[in-house]
């Protein structure tokens, strides 16, 4: 999978995408990430990419011209790999779900626009963006960290990235439920013991226990998932 990230702050995404699972996926060639500096397409001495919004109001807006120019340049790179989605990371849309991540892993190439300031010119959203994603009902300084969140969520589902594929398939939300409580050695720690069932060696009984715990945990913490 190839992912192109368009951002005004390329250094901000460099570190999160260079370590752990995402870093290993890139090193192994299973994930190809390209970061594009939007300021390379800015105008004037200061490579301007933002301006005040029409109609007044606080804040600045990323301009249409540099965004269109950058997008067109990105599209012309590796034209043999078709772009499946142009994704805009923004808080004013639907929140990312595991089902969306699962669907996006079938893509060959994704382009992610990391918004900044008060967002991007609406004409870019209308003409080019095919999917909008939020990582939660709150506002960050820009879309760079949300873009990294999306890349991380995608990377761990690419075949071969995680050595134990079952680990990713049994994560919370994969089937609409939260994951069961997890324990490891020692069996007893400061008066707190691992449930006997997990040390029984009976895999069927353990599976039933985990299923029951997942349902109880979801009902207690995220009952909205059961309603869905």
* 172-227 belongs to CATH 1.10.1270.20: yes
Q: What is the arithmetic mean of pLDDT over 48-74?
A: 97
Residue whose entry in the numeric block shows the structure tokens 């013991």: 193
Distances (CA, A) of 4 to 21, 44, 62, 166: 18, 25, 18, 28
Q: Is the pLDDT of residue 90 over 90?
A: yes
Domain boundaries, the chain: 2-155, 172-227
C-beta of residue 124 within 8 angstroms of C-beta of residue 113: yes
Answer whether 2-155 and 172-227 agree in fold.
no
Torsion sign, CA atoms 73, 130, 154, 18: positive
Distances (CA, A) of 134 to 40, 65, 68, 93: 26, 24, 22, 6
Strands (E), 46-193: 50-51, 61-62, 85-89, 109-114, 131-133, 188-189, 192-193
Q: What is the pLDDT of residue 86?
A: 98
Q: What is the pLDDT of residue 228?
A: 79
Q: What is the pLDDT of residue 174?
A: 87
Q: What is the pLDDT of residue 150?
A: 98
Fold of 2-155: Alpha/beta knot (3.40.1280)
pTM for the whole thing? 0.92
Task: Compute the distance between CA of residue 228 and CA of residue 224 in angstroms, rounded to an integer.
Answer: 6
Q: What is the pLDDT of residue 175?
A: 87
Residue whose entry in the numeric block shows the structure tokens 């960050």: 140
As given in the structure block, the two tokens for residue 111 are 């382009």
Residue-averaged pLDDT of the chain? 95
Q: Is the pLDDT of residue 42 over 80?
A: yes
Q: What is the DSSP letter of 15?
A: T
Residue whose entry in the numeric block shows the structure tokens 């870019």: 124
In the chain, the percentage of residues whose pLDDT exceeds 90 is: 93
Q: What is the arithmetic mean of pLDDT over 28-32?
A: 97
Q: Is the pLDDT of residue 165 over 70?
A: no
Q: How many CB atoms lie within 10 A of CB 222?
A: 16
Q: What is the pLDDT of residue 71?
A: 98
User: Around 212, how many Cα atoms within 13 Å sit in the side-chain half-sphere?
Assistant: 7
């Amino acid at each position: 999978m190839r992912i192109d990230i368009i951002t005004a702050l390329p250094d901000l995404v460099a570190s999160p995408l260079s370590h752990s699972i995402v870093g290993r996926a890139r090193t192994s060639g299973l994930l190809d990430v390209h970061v594009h500096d939007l300021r390379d397409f800015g105008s004037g001495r200061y490579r301007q990419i933002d301006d005040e919004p029409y109609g007044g109001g606080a804040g600045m807006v990323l301009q249409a011209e540099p965004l269109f120019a950058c997008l067109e340049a990105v599209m012309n790179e590796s034209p043999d790999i078709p772009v499946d989605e142009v994704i805009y990371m923004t808080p004013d849309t639907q929140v990312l779900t595991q089902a969306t991540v699962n669907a996006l892993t079938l893509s060959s190439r994704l382009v992610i626009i990391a918004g900044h300031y008060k967002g991007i010119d609406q004409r870019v959203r209308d003409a080019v963006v095919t999917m909008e994603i939020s990582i939660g009902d709150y506002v960050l300084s820009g879309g760079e960290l949300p873009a990294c969140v999306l890349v991380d969520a995608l990377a761990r589902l690419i075949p071969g990235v995680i050595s134990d594929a079952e680990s990713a398939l049994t994560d919370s939300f994969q089937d609409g439920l939260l994951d069961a409580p997890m324990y490891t050695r020692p069996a007893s720690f400061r008066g707190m013991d691992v449930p006997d069932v997990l040390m029984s060696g009976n895999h069927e009984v353990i599976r039933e226990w985990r299923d029951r715990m997942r349902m109880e945990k979801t009902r207690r913490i995220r009952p909205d998932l059961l309603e869905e």
